[in-house]
Chain A
Amino acid sequence: MADLINSTKKFFRKIGTVIKTFFWNIRRVLNNIKKRIGKFLDKHNLNFASKFPGWAKALLYLSPALIVLAIFTFWPIINAFALVVYENYNMTTDTITGYTVFGNFITVLTDESFIVPASHTGSSAVINTLIIVFISVPVSVLLALFISAALNSIKPLKGFFQTIYFLPYVTNTIAIGLVFAYMFKADGGLVNEFLSFFGVQSDGLSWVESGAVYWRSMFVLIFYSIWSTLAFKIMVFLTSIQGIDKQYYQAAAIDATPRSKIFSRITVPLISPMIFYILVTSVIGAFKIYNSIVALFGTSGAPAGVDYNLQSIVMYIYQFIDGSNAGNLSVAAAGSLILFAIILVLTLVQMQVSKKRVHY
């Protein structure tokens, strides 16, 4: 028995050696070819590569990435500026009826569902998005901070809790969104059952279906948004809190600092660069919210048969690509540029504020 095991081991080892020698010899052959080509080029003075080594090599290495970026990133940026000044661009025939500098922007800005709440729906994309951003971002950042601080202070079960809090990150937004919609089902949904357990009259209370109210639907959306973005924030905060030198805490302990002060005067300032980074990225991410809304309410952005909608700015833009207003790409481009401008302004504002409060 032992012999059998030994001889199998020897056999595998032999195969390993054969394979390794094979590759080794291939490498030798390739090296030889390289040398000969090099000598040939040198003789005939054709060796350009050695004359501008940095240049040529860099080009070779960058070319795959640059080609893809050029087609799918740089060109779109330029083209967006072109599209924005077209009038009535028709995709099927690839024609335009004229040029207009601000026309498309005005169309977007005055469109009734963009900023000004539309008459028939009573909601606007910008207002919806602003509500989402200014509620969900602060709440989720604060919550993440508290949870990371709490996690950092316990020893047993820490890894267990960490794993649990990280679960929402590994999921598909739409899949879990459907689950949330099911949980908030009017008839027999988990949430309504839970509320009635506490005596709240919730029989048939509609959150995401027909008969729902704007604030209830918005609550579900914000709740889901916070739920799914907590994981990343907790991870980042936890890593940075763990990176704080223990000596700061030891010094504070000797000075009999109460725990709340330790948190607000030591922990938070020391991780303020990270908090700032998370704030900026969260605001940007929240402004671009889309998948979550589709998950909960479908592509119309609202429950069936209600008189409001929860469209976000991005959802509004997409309707011009393949939604109700498909093909109107110039307007979509205008909308995207406006969105970019909003994000840019907010980011710059945040950077200004951070100068005072972020300590590097």
Chain B
Amino acid sequence: MELRLENLTKIFTNKTGIETTAVSELDITIESGTLVGLLGPSGCGKSTTLFMIAGLEKPTGGKIFFGDDDVTKLAPEKRGIGLVFQNYALYPHMTVYNNILFPLENLDVPREEAIERVKEMANLVGIGTLLDRKPSQLSGGQQQRVAIARALVKKPRVLLLDEPLSNLDARLRLQMREEIKRIQRETGITTIFVTHDQEEAMSISDKMVVLDFGVKQQYDSPQQMYTDPDNLFVAKFLGNPPINTFEAEVKKGYMMINGDKFMKFDVPDGLYDIGMRPENFRATEDGFKVAIKDIFHIGRDTMIHFDFNGVNVRALVDSDDIEEKQKFVNLSIKPNRVYMFDKKTGEVVSHG
């Protein structure tokens, strides 16, 4: 089921009349059967967007389409969505079996088929043996699987997950995100999930939407966004260790770093924000010479700290290329891995 958001906007007005724009002119088309991550820092409007798609929040402007149907004004129960809450929202007084059966009571489904579906879903998410327990007798990961089963049992058109992994401990997080990917692949349902953890989003999404203060920053596949960020925000948001950013001036077609010509770029002269990812540096013989401030050997990689234009920059290089207590190093980087951003708009500037 293709999901389309057209100029979706949400403005909150509190009691004293102050308006806050949570989501602003969001325009996205999500292909059927894909797993899309809504990513962004706290308060960027991702949960609000999710709830608007679910129908629990009414948009101030714009439209939402499920396939060809305009569902903007439709009540949540009529949209055919499945929603997994951050705290799972399982009915504490019902067994797992009854929790999963509950949504089917309102659909036109014969009882035997309903029971079949419950068992099928329970097995799909991996809790087939826990059907007689109550939620309080389950671990966090198990509770989440029950919540997912409950959302999927009515064969929804769209599956929505609100920060599904944030309540789990680190070890469980890794395991559960692969589970989510597997479940999504097996069922083929269009899925959207919200998270603030970029590594999580990048590892399982087919495509990602990055939001900042309600404005869409970029909508692309994870790898694409990583290697070709559209703006400074996206570049800074993705990547661990984070991207290095500093200011540099382009004089007569050359970028100046530490007073010397660094590289030739076909852009107008002026001040730019530059981004370089630590892992894109190479230690080569004919590279740019820098004085090493600090060296950290981490097994296979070595992290070196140095200054570009007065800003501390990190580079991740092969341990074999650096010796301990080395004082200077020659670094090079591919031109297409140097990101230049307009100082005013933050947009990336192409440079050939």
Chain A residues near B (Cβ < 8 Å): 20-21, 24-25, 27-28, 31-32
Contact = CB atoms under 8 A, between A and B. Distances in A.
A20 B108 CA distance: 16
B111 interface: yes
15 contacts: A20-B111, A21-B111, A24-B105, A24-B111, A24-B114, A25-B110, A25-B111, A27-B105, A28-B108, A28-B109, A28-B110, A31-B106, A31-B107, A31-B108, A32-B108
Interface of B: 105-111, 114
Nearest to A24: B111
A25 B110 CA distance: 7
Contacts of B108: 28, 31-32
Given A24-B111, A31-B106, 13 more contacts: A20-B111, A21-B111, A24-B105, A24-B114, A25-B110, A25-B111, A27-B105, A28-B108, A28-B109, A28-B110, A31-B107, A31-B108, A32-B108
Q: Which 6 A-B pairs have the closest CB atoms?
A: A24-B111, A21-B111, A28-B108, A31-B106, A27-B105, A32-B108
A13 B106 CA distance: 25
Contacts, number: 15
Contacts of A21: 111
B106 to A, nearest CB: 6
A47 to B, nearest CB: 12
A20 B109 CA distance: 14
A328 B48 CA distance: 65
B110 to A, nearest CB: 8
A27 B108 CA distance: 9
User: Which among A20, A24, A31 has the greatest number of chain B C-beta atoms within 10 A?
Assistant: A24
Contacts of B110: 25, 28
A286 B110 CA distance: 60
A20 B114 CA distance: 13
A27 B107 CA distance: 10
A320 to B, nearest CB: 51
B9 to A, nearest CB: 24
A115 to B, nearest CB: 51
Contacts of A28: 108-110
Contacts of B114: 24
B330 to A, nearest CB: 63
Nearest to B112: A21
Contacts of B106: 31
User: Which among A25, A28, A31, A32 has the greatest number of chain B C-beta atoms within 10 A?
Assistant: A28
Contacts of B111: 20-21, 24-25
Contacts of B109: 28
A20 B110 CA distance: 12
Contacts of A32: 108
